[in-house]
Copies of this chain bind each other. A is one copy, B any other.
Amino acid sequence: MKEQLIQDLRALLGDEAVLTGDAVTGRSAGAFRPDSLSAYALVRPRTTADVAEVMKRCAAMGQPVVTHGGLTGLVRGADASPDELILSMERMTRIEGIDVAGRTMTVEAGVTLQQIQEAAAAVDLYYGVDYGARGTATIGGGIATNAGGNRVIRFGMTRASVLGLEAVLADGRVISSMNTMMKNNSGYDLKQLFIGSEGTLGVVTRAVIRLHEMPASQCTALVAATDFDAVVRLLKHMDRKLGGQLAAFELMWQAYFDLVSTPPAQGRSPFAERYPFYVLLESLGADQEADSVRFMQALEEAMADELIVDATVAQSLDQRDALWRMRDSVEEMFKFGKSFNYDVSLPVSEMRAYADGVSAAAKANWPQGRCWIFGHMGDGNLHVSFSVGDGSDETKHRIDEIVYGPLAAFRGAVSAEHGIGLDKRAWLGVSRTEEELALMRQLKDFLDPQGLLNPGKVV
């Protein structure tokens, strides 16, 4: 039966559209992954109509399908078993058009974040979403995971940048909602169903994304603080003083900053002393000279008010990039063997208590272990990572309990931005009620009654 499907799909889409055998299993399972793909076939459509045909045939024979973008997802959301068929967006990479006056771009799902950023920049426009995986992550994957990244305080999650969407349902129906306007209240906003649902409710094939005018100024600083309350006040202070231009507020606890600023890491602290907290701040504005003056003033006031005790402002693009490289050097953690990485969110006012609790529990259980905490504090999002010298499933489970256990009391979320995938499915109940979980399952049954799309993920 699988043979027949493969033949049918080859006849329909051409031979080079359907890979099997080594051509599939020889491929990596994705970013930071040692394993390779195990699906029995990988189909590479070129158009929405292709995807619809594939889904119709799969629906007719009950064939489960897993959609692949750039495979940079971090929660095993794109894992496919040998029984499953992969639908890869790798040949749907066309930028269909840019409306410079309307400030929108129409793209196929396989276009990468970086391609979007570059195409926008070529006409002096700007895409508000950015994260480390930009060279490989696709817009389809970004939409499916509602990806966040470095500029959420200013431009929101991916959801905020999606104006229009085209998706194929499990039964092959095409839902084309390619709206290009900022405002459209004409009936239910169906695209929301597909944003952030990790490929379990539909295959995203095309999108209209919102662009902004290209910022003409950028100011970046690394600052140090001695207590957490001061950091909370700093966030409010900078946000207010920059009048909507604050674009990043990245907090690093000492252990993480030490990791990325001492050998073997390449980064170096600009400060003579060590501090409990470091924040990487960035603003995006319109006038470099005037904005720099304002940014410096805001920092000086923060210093005078003792919100921060040390600061360095990037004087060049190189210095700016060096500061961001430190912040982004997560791979330094991997030098200590297997690490366990989490992506939670919780109210800013609860972060300190939560972080202290998690660190203490880690120390109590693994006195020699390491625990690193950092994140997009401006968005309530903390990344918590552990390396405890043991990568077993049992250890993972114990750490899961340390990280997720206290979250319910703080009304936090088990995933701030990476999603649920397979990894966090067991913990979803920490952040969602029974009634919510039941409704999610019903929604899944409603849109995909056979359970064909990305089976076993999320719900």
Which positions in A face B, CB cutoff 8 Å? 99-104, 145-146, 148, 152-154, 156-157, 159-160, 169, 173-190, 192-193, 195-197, 201, 212-217, 232, 235-236, 239-245, 284-287, 290-291, 294, 345-349, 376, 378-381, 411-420, 424, 428, 431-433, 435-437, 439-440, 442-443, 446, 458-459
A187 CB contact (under 8 Å) in B169, B180, B184, B428: B428
B348→A101 contact, CB < 8 A: yes
B187→A195 contact, CB < 8 A: no
30 contacts between A and B (CB under 8 A): A101-B235, A102-B380, A104-B347, A148-B185, A154-B244, A173-B439, A175-B435, A177-B432, A177-B436, A179-B413, A182-B379, A183-B345, A183-B379, A184-B413, A184-B416, A185-B418, A185-B419, A186-B428, A186-B431, A188-B443, A188-B459, A189-B192, A190-B436, A212-B239, A213-B240, A215-B243, A216-B240, A243-B245, A243-B284, A290-B294
A181→B244 contact, CB < 8 A: no
A435 CB contact (under 8 Å) in B174, B242, B346: B174
A431 and B186 alpha carbons, distance in the complex (Å):
7
* Chain B nearest CB, measured from A243 CB (Å): 3
CB contacts (< 8 Å) of A214 on chain B: these are 240
A416 CB contact (under 8 Å) in B146, B181, B291, B439: B181
CB contacts (< 8 Å) of A183 on chain B: these are 148, 152, 157, 345, 376, 379-381, 413, 416-417
A291 CB contact (under 8 Å) in B189, B212, B243, B431: B243
Question: What residue of chain B has the Cβ atom nearest to residue A432's Cβ?
Answer: B187
CB contacts (< 8 Å) of A100 on chain B: these are 236
CB contacts (< 8 Å) of A419 on chain B: these are 185
**Given the interface contacts A99-B347, A413-B179, does A243 sit within 8 Å of B432 by beta carbon?**
no
CB contacts (< 8 Å) of A178 on chain B: these are 411
A298 and B190 alpha carbons, distance in the complex (Å):
39
Question: What residue of chain B has the Cβ atom nearest to residue A104's Cβ?
Answer: B347
A101→B349 contact, CB < 8 A: yes
B459→A187 contact, CB < 8 A: yes
If A156-B182, A182-B345 are given as contacts, then 15 extra A-B residue pairs at C-beta distance below 8 Å, sorted by A number, are A101-B348, A102-B347, A148-B183, A174-B435, A177-B432, A177-B436, A180-B347, A181-B345, A183-B376, A185-B413, A186-B424, A189-B195, A190-B439, A212-B244, A213-B239
